[in-house]
Structure 1
């Protein structure tokens, strides 16, 4: 809008650069009427400013509540990870480690199904369930993973390691290796009937930490170099 060559932007610039204007014309503040966003009634400039401040404060309160919620969730996850790690460290018999690791992982994080296979273990463990035969394709797939795989169950061999493969809709496949550049010596599979629990677009940082801790604990099963 323009009045005799003066635009709204000109007026806005003048007011912004003339802070004493409303001090000299204080009666204008009481005279200015605005439409309330909470109805069609007219409110004064001061009332509108108060409404804006209340809305801003409400937004800040919601952000603080969200931050507290995330903080509480993070503490809960850290506690579960601590209990799971402690259970692994307290397992004295190396042959019991895979079963303890999987059972505690399912319990602490409410994972419906999980399983593990290790193909690099010492010969003394070959008769145990976790050392059952694994195809060369599955080993190559695990070796190719630089981070955990998350997504739908599209017929992975690892899904067959689970007790009820028919109900698996999504899964996470976590390679096990002592060091980042080492070949995988096993793989951990987590599964759920919920197709969205392990989605292709989810972050894998936490699952990578699970893999690191599992690999460190299970390294006791490997042959002594």
Structure 2
């Protein structure tokens, strides 16, 4: 029966470490490609002149991660503050609409509020219906070709945002379309009232099809209810 002394025992750990060292020497960019491993290493802070130690590299990585986290936090804070601003504007806008005595006053409050608080360059209100006695806004008969085109281009109840062609800008804004680069079209659906609010902007990035529409949908529901109540014979 033979025995092994400590000197003759297998040195698996030493061999494994040597294999790792050999691999690192053969692939000097390995830790750069796997920075999560680098950040977890425990390395003494020793480096020769002109060299950057691993711990210094770790610190640089952590600083970059901290910078990215700080940017994300700043972005979230900006969104939160912007949401607060929009909520305050919508509250003020709602009060102005509710204070209107008639349809004409509601339309004035609508246009002024959208221009002042929501940076609208042009506001157009289009109502569709055969029996709408509305003052101060275009009223189209339900079978009017222009009304049919509007219904075809903007079906349903979801706001539509983006960059339209010249013909569609002209259909919505008429002679006010010149210079407009983006638009939000908000359906109004509060029977017997049916129509659209169109908000035009000269900024091509103001409204685009990747934006959310929840806020604009809520705005449209609010305006539709106020305008419907302001129609002659509809006020409760």
Deviations 1:165-194 (A, max 9, x none): 22222222111013xxx6861111111122
Structure 1, gaps ≥5 residues long: 13-21, 23-27, 35-39
Q: SS of the counterpart of 1:129?
A: coil
Shift of residue 139 of structure 1? Answer: 5.3
Tell me, in whole angstroms, the C-alpha distance in 2 between the residues paired with 1:48 and 1:165.
Answer: 57
Matches within 5 A, 1:45-60: 45-60=54-69
Q: SS of the counterpart of 1:185?
A: strand
Shift of residue 121 of structure 1? Answer: 8.3
Tell me, in whole angstroms, the C-alpha distance in 1 between the residues paired with 2:122 and 2:21.
Answer: 64
Q: SS of the counterpart of 1:8?
A: helix
Tell me, in whole angstroms, the C-alpha distance in 2 between the residues paired with 1:109 and 1:42.
Answer: 56
Match of 1:82 in 2: 91
Match of 1:130 in 2: 137
Tell me, in whole angstroms, the C-alpha distance in 2 between the residues paired with 1:101 and 1:66.
Answer: 31
- Counterpart of 1:146 (choices 146, 154, 157) is 157
Match of 1:19 in 2: none
Assess, with a 3 A threshold, how the Cα gap between structure 1 residues 79 and 121 changes in structure 2: closer, same or farther: farther
Tell me, in whole angstroms, the C-alpha distance in 1 between the residues paired with 2:98 and 2:86.
Answer: 18
Structure 2, gaps ≥5 residues long: 1-13, 25-41
Deviations 1:6-44 (A, max 9, x none): 6439999xxxxxxxxx7xxxxx7345x59xxxxx94233
Give the alignment's Cα RMSD to 1 decimal. 3.4
Q: Which has the larger radius of gyration?
A: 2
Tell me, in whole angstroms, the C-alpha distance in 2 between the residues paired with 1:77 and 1:167.
Answer: 26
Matched, 1:169 2:181: yes
Matches within 5 A, 1:31-70: 31=46, 33=47, 41-70=50-79
Instruction: Kindly tell me the number of residue pairs found equivalent between the two proteins.
Output: 196
Assess, with a 3 A threshold, how the Cα gap between structure 1 residues 121 and 215 changes in structure 2: closer, same or farther: farther
Q: SS of the counterpart of 1:62?
A: helix
Shift of residue 197 of structure 1? Answer: 2.0
Tell me, in whole angstroms, the C-alpha distance in 2 between the residues paired with 1:143 and 1:194.
Answer: 22
Tell me, in whole angstroms, the C-alpha distance in 2 between the residues paired with 1:111 and 1:148.
Answer: 16
- 8 Å Cα contact 1:121/1:131 also seen in 2: no
Matched, 1:199 2:208: yes
TM-score where L is the length of structure 2: 0.68
Match of 2:107 in 1: 98
TM-score where L is the length of structure 1: 0.71
- 8 Å Cα contact 2:161/2:209 also seen in 1: yes
Tell me, in whole angstroms, the C-alpha distance in 1 between the residues paired with 2:99 and 2:22.
Answer: 75
Tell me, in whole angstroms, the C-alpha distance in 1 between the residues paired with 2:21 and 2:99.
Answer: 72
